[in-house]
């Protein structure tokens, strides 16, 4: 077993930060070929930036000044204060030397010290015909006592291969079912008149999304929390494209979707929340929202090629919409969870 220490990643320690980033990049190249790469800015920003609803810690297993593995922790502070979300990885050249197990013990020690009782992480899993994902992460989690609590699926839309004529047909057919609604698109912080409705729908993501056995509980989301999230995205240099449909008669925000382009990302962007208020379902609003933002991506970033999204495998309705507008299965990504005590 290699001797190493587990230390916090100090943003002022240039050598450690570079080594820590190198571990992330080596794991991405070795284990996650064919799925969306993470921007270095996205990795770096939590060292100095955070939203008001979460506290983050970044740790590294270090030997002779070189990072061998990483442990990234997120502690919700406004709700779900029983949880710790985490990412963990060991450099491919340092595996089977106790690095991953030691980082996991450190995670559980930190969780106990903070009186957190549930630990969870998203872990990519290969599928037949999909990207060449390394299944070792899921095997490691299961071996360490983490149970698969939610089955998810990751899909990508190759914008260069989308059938524009079919998209036009879907768009026109959807609007035939959506009389009485209007589309509003914007970037960054929402306009004041949309803020409360958007907050309400983001809160519903915690109750409407299929959760399986994942111990994720309701959250209170208000306008201040939405604006704080917009602040962090702006400070990280992200482009945040959003679309909502509004019921004209009542003024109610009936549905929303969002796409995030990370700073420095040239080919890949990620789909955020998409939801339609149950009171307004059956009007093809989800299709309208998806197509609207898909078109907005190409307007803002003409060379952007791939849009990535994830859904619970049981969310057949949203998966059908995604498939119709060009998304194709790449891999699964499951929540692995462990409860302490």
Alpha carbon distance 191, 122 (integer Å): 32
- pLDDT tens series, the chain, 341 aa: 568 999 999 999 999 999 999 999 999 999 988 898 888 898 999 999 989 999 999 999 999 999 999 999 999 999 999 999 999 999 999 998 899 999 999 999 999 999 999 999 999 999 999 999 999 999 999 999 999 999 999 999 999 999 999 999 999 999 999 999 999 999 999 999 999 999 999 999 999 889 999 999 999 999 999 999 999 999 999 999 999 999 999 999 999 999 999 998 999 999 999 999 999 999 999 999 999 999 999 999 999 999 999 999 999 999 999 999 999 999 999 999 999 97
pLDDT at residue 91, as a whole number: 96
The full set of domains in the chain, from first to last, is: 5-116 (3.40.630.30), 156-334 (3.40.630.30)
Q: Which pLDDT belongs to residue 37? A: 84
Q: What would the pLDDT profile of 266-284 be if each residue is shown by its tens digit?
A: 999 999 999 999 999 999 9
CB 85 within 8 A of CB 121: yes
| Alpha carbons 312 and 71: distance in angstroms, whole number | 25
What sign does the dihedral 57-63-65-68 (CA atoms) show? negative
* pLDDT confidence of residue 290: 96
């Amino acid at each position: 077993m290699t001797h190493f220490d587990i230390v916090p990643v100090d943003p002022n320690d240039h050598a450690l930060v570079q080594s820590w980033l190198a571990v992330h990049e080596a794991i991405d190249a070795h284990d996650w070929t064919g799925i969306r790469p993470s921007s270095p800015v996205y990795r770096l920003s939590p060292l100095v930036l955070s939203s008001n609803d979460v506290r983050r810690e970044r740790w590294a297993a270090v030997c002779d000044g070189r990072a061998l593995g990483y442990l990234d922790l997120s502690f919700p502070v406004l709700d779900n204060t029983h949880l710790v979300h985490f990412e963990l990885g060991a450099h491919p050249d340092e595996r089977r030397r106790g690095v991953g197990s030691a980082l996991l013990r450190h995670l559980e020690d930190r969780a106990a010290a903070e009186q957190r009782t549930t630990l969870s992480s998203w872990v990519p899993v290969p599928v037949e015909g999909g990207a060449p994902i390394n299944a070792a992460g899921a095997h490691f989690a299961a071996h360490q006592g983490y149970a698969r609590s939610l089955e998810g699926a990751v899909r990508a839309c190759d914008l260069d291969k989308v059938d524009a004529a079919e998209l036009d047909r879907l768009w026109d057919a959807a609007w035939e079912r959506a009389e009485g609604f209007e589309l509003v698109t914007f970037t960054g912080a929402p306009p004041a008149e949309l803020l409360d409705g958007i907050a309400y729908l983001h809160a519903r993501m915690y109750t409407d999304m299929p959760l399986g056995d994942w111990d994720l509980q309701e959250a209170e989301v208000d306008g201040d929390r939405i604006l704080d999230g917009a602040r962090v995205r702006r400070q990280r240099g992200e482009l945040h494209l959003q679309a909502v449909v509004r019921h004209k008669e009542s003024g109610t925000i009936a549905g929303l979707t969002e796409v995030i382009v990370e700073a420095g990302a040239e080919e890949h962007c990620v789909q955020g929340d998409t939801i339609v208020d149950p009171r307004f379902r059956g009007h093809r609003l989800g299709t309208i929202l998806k197509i609207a933002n898909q078109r907005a991506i190409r307007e803002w970033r003409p060379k952007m090629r791939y849009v990535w999204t994830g859904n619970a495998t049981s969310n057949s309705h949203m998966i059908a919409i995604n498939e119709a507008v060009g998304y194709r299965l790449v891999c699964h990504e499951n929540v692995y969870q462990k409860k302490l005590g």
